[in-house]
Structure 1
Amino acid sequence: MFTGIVEELGEVVSLEPAGTAGEAVLLTVRGPLVSSDAGHGDSIAVNGVCLTVVGRGEGTFTADVMKESLDRSSLGSLAPGSPVNLERATPADGRLGGHIVQGHVDGTARLLSRNPGDNWDVLRFSLPAELSRYVVEKGSITVDGTSLTVSAVSEPGATEEFFEVSLIPETLRATTLGALTTGATVNLEVDVVAKYVERIAAVSAAERA
């Protein structure tokens, strides 16, 4: 489990084809902080995707990325030199500084616009229709592994559904979101609590029917 509090801004070193059909990749990332105590089998979130460490070098770690992860996230578009948000798994006695994040990407979104301000930037992202019911104003959402509070959301049934987040200078400095350009694709993970509530409500309704 993660909290969506990015520990380090890392950099992709290489992506090497793996597997018999070359559908998977072996991803090597430079991140001196998160790799400093990484062991084989440890979990590190890369742009919000939970990956398993299979090797470690001097200030780097390597992880297998399977086709499912490449298809459902933006990791397939990475290249050597790409910046990435990194976070180690949260220890049981650690602080929950953001919100409960599993590292299981629910979908992707595009940056529609960014409005710079004196003390924060407002970023507007597209919102996939299948995820819109889980996103509410003042609720939590994970964007490229960063725990954020939704500052605005489109009305249900809008022609183009979207959500907005307001980013403080520290978030702009310490994550990839500071340099994100319009049209860029990001990974989304909605609040898992909302999905559990929906499932429990659906089962209860079915039992009463």
Structure 2
Amino acid sequence: MFTGIVTATGTIREARQDGDLRAVIACPFDPAGIAIGASIACSGVCLTVVEKGGAPGDAWFAVNISGESVARTVPGRWREGTALNLEPALKLGDELGGHIVTGHVDGVGQVVSVTPAGDSKVFVIAAPKELAPYLAPKGSITVDGISLTVNEVSDQPDGTCHFTLNIIPHTAEVTTIGAMQAGDGVNLEIDVLARYLQRMQSLRG
């Protein structure tokens, strides 16, 4: 379980197909604080640490990424040199600063536009039609592992939807979203509460 509050960014140092895809991710964590078998959200994907090493501030950990995870996430996301948003799993007693995030990607979206708005940036992101019913103004959405609030939702004729986000300078600086441009893909996880509400509504209907 996660909160969508990114604690660091890391970089894929090595990626190779070894049965499942195996990735080694460089990060600024202390390896003593990374447990083998622990879960770390990597740009919104819950992955299990299978190996670790390095020094405090210059650590690395290895994960195995199944074919299912590769297929459900942004194409090309697991290449060497790719930057990732990182968040260790929530511990009992930790502050829930974002919203409840499972680390299970529901779909892939695409950045439609990025527009400056004061010191912030307004992002418009296209979501696939299967996720459109779960998005609402002032609702929560996880974009590449970042807990964000939806500002507006615009339904499209083909059943997809566009939603807007306001990205403040701090979020842009400490996550990968600050470097994103129109056309970039993003991992999306809908609010778990919206998922259950939609299921309940469909059964009633």
Alignment TM-score, normalising by the size of structure 1: 0.91
Is 1:37 aligned with 2:33? yes
| Alignment match of 1:49 (pick from 45, 51, 66) | 45
Letter of the structure 1 residue corresponding to residue 27 of structure 2: G
**Structure 2 gap segments, 5+ residues each:** none
Counterparts of 2:134 and 2:30 in 1: how far apart (Å)? 30
Q: Which amino acid aligns with 1:122?
A: V
2:180 corresponds in structure 1 to 180
**What residue number does 2:93 align with?**
93
Structure 2 equivalent of residue 168 of structure 1: 168
- Is contact 2:12-2:25 (8 Å) kept? yes
What's the CA shift for 1:88? 0.3
Please give the residue correspondences for 1:124-135 in structure 2 after superposition, counting only pairs within 5 Å: 124-135=124-135
Match of 2:24 in 1: 28
Q: Map of 1:55-204 to 2, 5 A cutoff? A: 55-58=51-54, 59-74=59-74, 76-155=76-155, 157=157, 161-203=161-203
Percentage of pairs with the same residue: 40
Q: Provide the rounded CA distance (Å) in 1 between the counterparts of 2:31 and 2:116.
A: 33
TM-score with structure 2 length normalisation? Answer: 0.92
Structure 1 residue 32, shift from structure 2 partner: 2.4
Query: Deviation of residue 193 (structure 1)?
Result: 0.5
Q: Which structure shows the higher strand fraction? A: 2
Contact 1:5 1:98 survives alignment (8 Å) = yes
**What are structure 1's unaligned runs of at least 5 residues?**
none
The 1:74/1:29 distance shift into structure 2, 3 A limit, reads same
Contact map agreement 1:34 1:88 (CA 8 A) in 2: no
- The structure 1 segments of at least 4 consecutive aligned residues displaced by more than 6 Å after TM superposition are none
Q: Secondary structure, in 3 states, of the residue corresponding to 1:137?
A: coil
CA RMSD in angstroms comes to 1.7
Partner SS, residue 130 of structure 1: coil
Deviation track 1:124-175 (CA, whole Å, cap 9, x = no partner) reads: 1111100001000010000000000001110364676211100000000000
Q: Partner amino acid for 2:62? A: T
**Contact 1:26-1:64 at 8 Å conserved across structures:** yes
Higher helix proportion, which one?
A: 1
> Alpha carbons of 1:137 and 1:82: their partners in 2 closer, same or farther (altered >3 Å)?
same
Change (3 A) 1:153 1:36: farther
